[in-house]
Structure 1
Amino acid sequence: MRKLLETYTTMEQTGQGPVSRGILLRGQGTQSTESVRRVFLERLGATDLAAQIHAEAGQDPQGQGVRLWLDHPATQTWAPGHNTMQLAHTLGLRTLDSETDLQREILVTMLMSPTGLDFPSLDEFESALHIRRNIVQAARRTTLAFDTNAAERPQDCWTYDEDRGFTLLPGVPLIEALIKTTQPEVSGRLYSFSCYRATEYVTLLGIAQELARSNTELFERLQEVWRQRAIMSEEFHTVFLREQGSLEQPVPPLYYVPGDRVWFRNPDEASADACGFEGSWVMYLGGGLFTNFWKQHQPYTLTRKCVEIYHWRHGLYKDEQGESQIDEVRIEPLIEATLANPDELAQVMARMTRWREPRGVYTEAGGCMDTTREFARWVRPGTSDMPIPRT
């Protein structure tokens, strides 16, 4: 039985370029590799991709497993250099209209993962697909009012305490409250959020919807926690998310999976001092688009997001209290002018698409591209690694 990464290391050493490590399914018992592959394809509605999806059994310090990946020719044709931004268009997927097509985009991008994604079972992988799909669908419907100082929630769903944050009122279902808070087509109004908190609510909704379907015991624990206190910020990351990539081993810059939580850093030290403009937290929607929580029907392309962040420096001013602020109205014509000028746009993008620098470091070498992606932990009974506190 070959070592799990042996094939991929060999391909890299022979100069075949970036390779797809794909996904690793553990817990397959005595099933043959071909049986695992066949069940995988059938269960995920991907039998038409049988020629492009390969499988190999192997072993590592964590035990045995079967690795499945999209072959190198398909990866290079559909997403050259692991650039998944045009994948949906290349495959002719109508992800806005079809849940099946959205799930196909998620599946294919995960199967070409350059770092490898580990799952304790096929059930767990299926839940990961569902959570990402839920997040994208919820994010598309989300519109909020940007405000780093104020925070509002529907008063018939939430109550606020300085120490506990926004907690559910007795008898209010968590999923219903999250939908009403983030989706104005349901609530009829916009509520104030920072972009960071917005990504938390959208991610939490996607996870809660899957827990309600596949792990009701953990869902009830989650809901009960939110009746006692909110899980926020660093604790939210620790409890609900895992991270792919690092500063030392970055994810390819244009490799995104629908449902990823992504950060774009503001590389300008002065304007990054303005509260809420240190960077921009978004969700990747697929099809080359990122969330615009403030203008639902105008999602960001990578180019527009980078140009907007670049021009934050030109909207910097001090308010009456001497605090740094950004005048977003002032920079709107600057953004449009840059987008309309190919030479200027090329210069701005060359600067902004560099890797971001470490926290607290600002030099001319730094850009706004993060080296990591964030996504949900495991959720299934018996294999979940989501440490939701017990109340």
Structure 2
Amino acid sequence: MRIRVLPFLAVLFAGMAASAVPSLVPPLRAAELITAGGIRFQCSPSLLAQAAQEMDALLDELAIPADLLSKSSSASGTQLSYRLRTPEHDTSTLDLVDRREYALAREAISLPAVRGMRVVNTVSRKEILLALLQHGRLTEMTGGSCSVAALREMIGIRQNVVAWAEHLEWIWPNGGPARWNTKYWKEGTPVSTQPLADAFLDMFLQQQRYTIGCYTATKVVYVHALLDYHRRVNPDAQKLRLLESRLLADGEPLVDVEPAGMWSFEDDFDPAGLSRPGKLLRLHADVAMRNFVPGDWVYLLNTDPVSRRKTGYEGSNAIYLGGGRFDDYYNDHQHAYAYEEKLDEVYQWRHGVFNRRRDAQKRQVLSAPAMARLSESPARGGLVFGFRVVPGDVDLTLPGSTRLPQQLAIGDREN
């Protein structure tokens, strides 16, 4: 929750009623929604032919019938695209689990525990792939990532992110200082006597020894999930070394994990840093508002000028878990929030609802139209930006959009 007052929010704040969602602009018509979507491979014809065969195998492995997809190729033979056979205006992924034709179920995987391993049920690789194939965002597999092997890795990393984010009980600092297990950490910096991966794993095995805010918590999940993926899930010593070297290049593995452009809407943002990439994560711009892929980092902005001055309540960093659910770092809400619950949580801060049990009597019930408005961008009276922060390849290439979301800087562009 590292946000301060934004210049473009001055107009928004000025016209905001205390208990009503602002209505600055009319809702988008369906034709204005982003309709591009799916996965596009772009490389040589020979590599595309191989990708097509391997994609067929992946779809068969995950029990995704071919008649649920549309497949197309460019006249030049250098592009091959896949997307769900859904209407162009259908960009939501929140309800994929409820669509009977997809037959989605959770998937059992193993995670390290204090003693040995434990089996957990988490988001399936099938749901992750279907979300990537839905209208609402375009995922581009280009260059060295123009392969189904790279797509499989993307899916596997996202599944690992979700698995580690689903059952957390860290302690909320509530404006106070962070607290770390001093065996592994010194005020957010890992001690040099312990392996980096062990320091991050300890944060999940001994959660009650850590008091951290949601911004730090989000970065911890991604760093740990990536280290764990390349160390244990799909061991790759070369990628693990490269990953650790990038994290430790400045001695601070929790600094600059995400790209600087994520915060380009802050009033004190330095434009000189706009091009700085994240150590591990990338921006995916031009995403439809209800389009989330499991493993996405989402930012919900508190647009209330009063409550956002309270430390820790400037906004909410969240990870999409699949199944219409978002993470709960502190187990305040039985480990997960539905989308509308997450929107309502951030909105209710303006009414002094900082603990949903203790402050329940202060909550103001929102109408269906008001709740729908919260799903819009801040420029349109909502809370959700039209970008996602996503895991990138260790070599800093990302299958997906790498353009910075300019609407963050100007505040008046809707996707």
The normalised TM-score by structure 1 is 0.73
What does residue range 181-220 of structure 1 map to in structure 2 within 5 Å? 181=203, 183=204, 186-187=205-206, 189-212=208-231, 213=234, 215-220=236-241
Alpha-carbon displacement from aligned partner over 1:204-237 (angstroms, at most 9, x marks no partner) = 1222223333542231243354496223454533
Instruction: Give the counterpart of 1:65 among 79, 84, 89.
Output: 79
Deviation at 1:262, TM superposition (A): 0.4
1:134 match: 160
Higher relative contact order (CA 8 A, sep 6+): 2
In the TM superposition, 1:356-367 aligns within 5 A as: 356-357=378-379, 366-367=381-382
Structure 2 CA distance for aligned equivalents of residues 157 and 298 of structure 1? 26
- Cα offset, 1:67, TM superposition: 2.0
Matched, 1:55 2:71: yes
Aligned pair 1:333/2:333, yes or no? no
Match of residue 388, structure 2, among 352, 360, 373: 373
Aligned to 1:158: 185
| Structure number with higher helix proportion | 1
The residue aligned with 1:21 is 37
Mapped partners of 1:32, 1:157: distance in 2: 46
Uncovered stretches (5+) of structure 2, i.e. residues with no partner: 1-30, 110-120, 260-277, 399-415
CA distance in 2, matches of 1:253, 1:85: 11
Count of residues in correspondence between the two structures: 327
Task: In structure 1, give the amino acid aligned to 2:70.
Answer: H
Residue number in structure 2 paired with 1:12: none
> How do 1:217-366 residues align onto structure 2 when only pairs under 5 Å count?
217-224=238-245, 225-226=247-248, 229-234=251-256, 236-237=258-259, 238-245=278-285, 250-295=286-331, 297-315=334-352, 331-335=359-363, 338=365, 344-346=366-368, 348-357=370-379, 366=381
2:159 maps to amino acid: R
Cα separation, 1, equivalents of 2:344 and 2:136: 27
Distance 1:195 1:32, change over 3 A: closer
**Map of 1:144 onto structure 2:** 170
Question: Aligned residues: percent identity?
Answer: 22
What's the offset of the Cα at 1:290? 0.3
How much has 1:56 moved relative to structure 2? 3.0
Unaligned segments of structure 1, at least 5 residues: 1-14, 317-325, 339-343, 358-364, 387-391
Does 2:127 correspond to 1:108?
no
Cα distance in 2 for residues equivalent to 1:199 and 1:370: 17
- Name the aligned partner's letter for residue 293 of structure 2: V
Instruction: State how far apart, in whole Å, the 1-side matches of 2:172 and 2:33 are.
Output: 42
Equivalents in 2 of 1:48, 1:356: separation in Å?
Answer: 36
**CA pair 374-209 structure 1, distance change in 2 beyond 3 A:** same
* Offset at residue 199 of structure 1 (A): 0.6
Query: In the alignment, which residue of structure 1 is the partner of 2:13?
Result: none
User: Post-superposition shift, 1:353?
Assistant: 2.7
Equivalent in 58, 83, 98 of residue 89 of structure 1: 98
Secondary structure of the equivalent of 1:193?
Answer: coil
Structure 2 counterpart of 1:304, which letter? Answer: E
Pair 1:273–1:256, CA change in 2 (3 A) = same
Q: Deviations over 1:241-299 (max 9, x none)?
A: 12222xxxx42221111000001111111111112111100100000000011117331
Shift of 1:57: 3.1
Equivalent residues of 2:93, 2:291 under 8 A apart: yes
Identify if the C-alpha distance between structure 1 residues 85 and 92 changes in structure 2 by more than 3 Å, giving closer, same or farther.
same
**Are residues 176 and 141 of structure 1, via their aligned partners in 2, closer, same or farther at CA, if it must alter by over 3 Å?**
farther
Shift of 1:85: 1.1
Which stretch of the first structure deviates more once superposed, 218-227 or 274-283?
A: 218-227
Q: Distance in 2 between matches of 1:228 and 1:40?
A: 39
Secondary structure of the residue aligned to 1:125 is helix
Residue-by-residue CA offset, 1:14-73 (whole Å, 9 max, x unaligned): x7986453112244651564x53232121451464222333333389xx93322222235
CA deviation after TM superposition for structure 1 residue 102, in Å? 0.9
Which amino acid counterpart does residue 334 of structure 1 have in structure 2?
K
Deviation at 1:168, TM superposition (A): 3.9
Using a 3 Å threshold, how does the CA distance of structure 1 residues 350 and 236 change in structure 2: closer, same or farther? Answer: closer
1:256 partner SS: coil
1:385 aligns with 2:402: no
**What is the correspondence of 1:31-42 to structure 2 with a 5 Å cutoff?**
31=47, 33=49, 36-42=51-57
Letter of the structure 1 residue corresponding to residue 397 of structure 2: D
The CA distance in 2 between the partners of 1:306 and 1:16, in whole Å, is 23
| C-alpha contact 1:168 1:227 (8 A) present in aligned 2 | no
Q: Say which SS state the counterpart of residue 279 (structure 2) adopts.
A: helix
Q: Which amino acid is 1:202 matched to?
A: V
Contact 1:307 1:348 in 2 (8 A): no
